[in-house]
Every structure is written in C-alpha cells, then in structure tokens.
Amino acid sequence: MFHHISEVLSDNFIGKEVALRGWIYRKRRMGKIIFVVLRDSSDIIQCVIEKKKIGNEKFKELDKVGVESSLEINGVIRKEERAPTGYEVDVKDINIIGPSYLFPITKDKSDEFLLDNRHLWLRSREMNAILKIRHTVFGAIHEFFRENGYYEVQGPIFVTGAVEGGSTLFEVPYFGKKAYLSQSAQFYLETFIFSLERVYTIAPSFRAEKSRTRRHLTEYWHAEGEVAWYHNEDMMRDEEELIMHIVQKVLEEREKELKFLNRDLEILKNLEKPFIRMKYEELIEFAQENGINIEYGDDLGADEETAITKKFDKPIFVTHYPIEIKPFYHRPDPDNPKVVLCHDLLAPEGYGEIIGGGERIYKLDVLLRRMEEEGLNPEDYYWYVDLRKYGSIPHSGFGLGVDRLVWWLAGLSHIKYAIPYPRTIRRTKP
C-alpha cells in the first residue's frame, strides 16, 4: 500500500518501512550514494539510495535518468534535520516506472518560457500550491451557495448578444450566422429566478480584452449569483458572507500553501464584516485627496483601483456609479436617476475589482428607455425584455471573478499565475 509523502513526514513513521511513489524533483550523486528528492501531489521527501542496497543495475539506471522520472520506492523513514522536509527515506529498493531525460524546465525560468511550458510547470511546487488554493476556493463557493439556498444552474456559452458591452465580444461563426461567446451568464440567471428564486453558476466567461494588465484574461472563471426580491444592499450582504466564507476556508485548509507562496496572512486573518462601503462620488473625492488623477465621471481603471486599494486593508464596496459608465441593465436610483444601484467590490492591497453586480431594472418602460438610450434593439433581447412583461420583480445579482479572487488570496503578482491555462490577447496555448 502506497502512502502519500505528507502522511509519512511525521515522528510516528520513524523506523517504519513505507512504499512511496512520485517523480524525481531533485537528484545528485555522491560516489556510491544518490540523493533523490521525491515529490508527489502532497509534498517532497529526501531519499538516500545506496548502490549496495539496490544493486549495480538499478543504481546505474537511476544515475542515468533525469528529473521528473517517475519512481516507486521502498524504505525506512528516519528523522533528518538537514533534509528539506525534516525526514528522509533510507531506501531499500526502487522501481523506475517512467524515465525522463532532459526535462525542459531547468535554469530558464523566464515568464514566457514557463507559460509556453505551463503543461509541465503545473508540476512545480508553486503551481501545486496555487492549484490547491484554487481547489479550495471553488469548493467554498459551491458550499456557500448550496448552504444558503441557491440552486446551481447553467446558462449557454453560445449567445447572440452582449451583456457587458459589444467591444469585448468574441464573435464565432455559427452555421452561416453569428454567435458570440458568453461574457456573463447574468441574463440567463435572471430567467431562472422566476422559477428557483435564488440561483448561481460557475462557468467560463469570455472577454475580447485588448488591454494587457495584471488582471485581465480573455477567458476567465466567473461565479455569478442572482436573487429574486433582492435589492442592492441585500446582494452585497450575501457577497460579504461569501467572501468571508471563502477566506476562512482558504486559511483553514491552505495555510501551508499560502506560506510556501510567502503570502502575508495578516490582512486575510484580520478580515471582518462589514466591508467598507463608499459611493462612487466619495471614492473619487478620496482618490483626488490622495493625489490620484481622476475626475467624477471617469470609469475606475486598473491603475486607479490599484492606487486606491493599496490604501485599504479590507474590501471596499463602491456603489452608485454614474449611469453613463455602467451597462444598460442597472437600475437607476429612484432618488437620483443620474446614478445606478450597482456595486463593485474592490479587493485591498492593490488588487482592485473582484466583483461587479447590482440591482436590475425590473420595470418594462425603464428597460426599453435605457436600451433605446444605449442604441440597443429590444428585438435582439426579446427574451430578456419578456421577463419584464410577465410578473416582473425587483432582483439583484453579481459576478465574482474567481481567478482574480485567487490572484488576491494567494498574493500573486499577475492573474496569469492564478489560472492553470491563462488566455490573453497573445496566448492561446498550451
């Protein structure tokens, strides 16, 4: 029976014979001894392999193969302070399963090279840690929604209209017609709430982003929720709970990985509700007082959000944006129709927007007027307009960029490290 390496890194296994399997992470020979650092999905361990124990043939074969060769080993665990994980295996026997020669990732760790070889770089301890954090984040999102009465639903990926503006639509040929890749499942989630009232989905969204920033992908993972009868504040409250749940799970399950990534945990450990709430106009004033060059009416771009959020140590909900800089579906504030009842959630520490959401227009005449103002043809959105014809209700929703959330929680320098296969304006492989 094989153990995972993390199981045997313990005093309870000292003196016990174990069977391990994995890949050569490091290898060096000193005379009649070869030191192998073996890795598996859980951790690494030093293995001391002596020629006299495994025999000349196997020793010679082991000496020839390179890093990332796959191995099974048998041996006895002993404590060794100088070993990378404090224990080592006194090897009795090995079995080389799959040799690897000249594994391409050695000294050259340049960004582009590692992106070109992401299919192999996934094996690194850095990516292993990030993938585990990502796993915990996805699981926590499902857990939160399901524990709070949300039904999981699925919208289509082939669609015929924009949600977040036509400039970032990916057009795909569709049997002689035009289709687009979904920018957001929102409009479809709005159809579900008339049946299930509270729905969510986690799916890829596509944005033909020409901007090359630390936080933009052309394909990203999007967790979206929609709730019947909710107003803007109700939705923000659920989102606060969601983020707190995810942060708590990541701290509980992934402290080891966060520490390996040298993530400063203070802000995450000190996170508490309620998050900061600022109206857009207050945020603009704050930004101007802090020397950030921005005027009322400007959209907050990556640079502005980075500069602003570096000054905060908890997430900030920014609400009541001017109607001109938000998509047509946002509900104008009845008390001041020049602004809309929306919110963005900006992550602190310079990370910026991780959530966009708000209250939807639910009155037919208001929606038709806004579509006309935006030059949209209601016919193109006939099914979306129908929702306002047949038993319309106030409702709100949001979209969380899961890759951006992982990027913030793991304290990474660029979103491309937060997703296994990043897609950007210049990259569509591997």
Interface positions with ligand NSS (CB under 6 A)? 163-164, 184, 186, 207, 209, 216-217, 220, 222, 224, 353-357, 397-399, 401, 403-404
Q: What is the DSSP letter of 150?
A: P
Least separation, in Å, of the C-beta of 292 and ligand NSS? 20
- Residue 67: contacted member of ligand NSS, Mg ion, none (CB under 5 to 8 Å, by partner type): none
Q: Measuring CA to CA, which residue among 232, 235, 215, 249 is closest to residue 347?
A: 215
Indicate the residue among 292 and 345 with the shorter CB distance to Mg ion.
345
CB 352 within 8 A of CB 306: yes
CB 186 within 8 A of CB 400: no
Say how far apart CA 190 and CA 385 lie, in whole Å: 11
The sign one gets for the Cα dihedral 242, 244, 246, 248 is negative
* Residue 420 DSSP SS3: coil
- Residue 247: contacted member of Mg ion, ligand NSS, none (CB under 5 to 8 Å, by partner type): none
Say how far apart CA 348 and CA 340 lie, in whole Å: 24
Least separation, in Å, of the C-beta of 203 and ligand NSS? 11
Least separation, in Å, of the C-beta of 358 and ligand NSS? 7
Q: How many CA atoms lie within 13 A of 289 on its CB side?
A: 7
Indicate the residue among 145 and 220 with the shorter CB distance to Mg ion.
220
Indicate the residue among 43 and 403 with the shorter CB distance to ligand NSS.
403
With contacts defined by CB under 5 A, name the span among 89-97, 312-320, 354-362, 389-397 that binds Mg ion.
354-362
What is the DSSP annotation of 175-219?
TTEEEEE-S-SHHHHHHHHHHHSEEEEEEEEE-------TT--SE
Least separation, in Å, of the C-beta of 106 and Mg ion? 41
Token pair in block for residue 335? 């008390």
Least separation, in Å, of the C-beta of 33 and ligand NSS? 49
* Number of residues this chain uses to bind Mg ion (CB under 5 A): 1
Indicate the residue among 356 and 394 with the shorter CB distance to Mg ion.
356
* Residue 95 DSSP SS3: strand
Indicate the residue among 68 and 190 with the shorter CB distance to ligand NSS.
190
- Residue 352: contacted member of Mg ion, ligand NSS, none (CB under 5 to 8 Å, by partner type): none
Determine if 356 is a binding residue for Mg ion (CB under 5 A): yes
Indicate the residue among 40 and 238 with the shorter CB distance to Mg ion.
238
CB 318 within 8 A of CB 347: no
CB 155 within 8 A of CB 199: no
Least separation, in Å, of the C-beta of 38 and Mg ion? 45
Determine if 399 is a binding residue for Mg ion (CB under 5 A): no
Least separation, in Å, of the C-beta of 327 and Mg ion? 9
Determine if 327 is a binding residue for Mg ion (CB under 5 A): no
> b/e per residue, 90-124, with b = 16+ CB within 10 A?
bbeebebeeeeeeeeeeeeeeeeebbeebeebebb
Indicate the residue among 115 and 323 with the shorter CB distance to Mg ion.
323
Least separation, in Å, of the C-beta of 143 and ligand NSS? 20
Residues near Mg ion, by CB under 5 A: 356
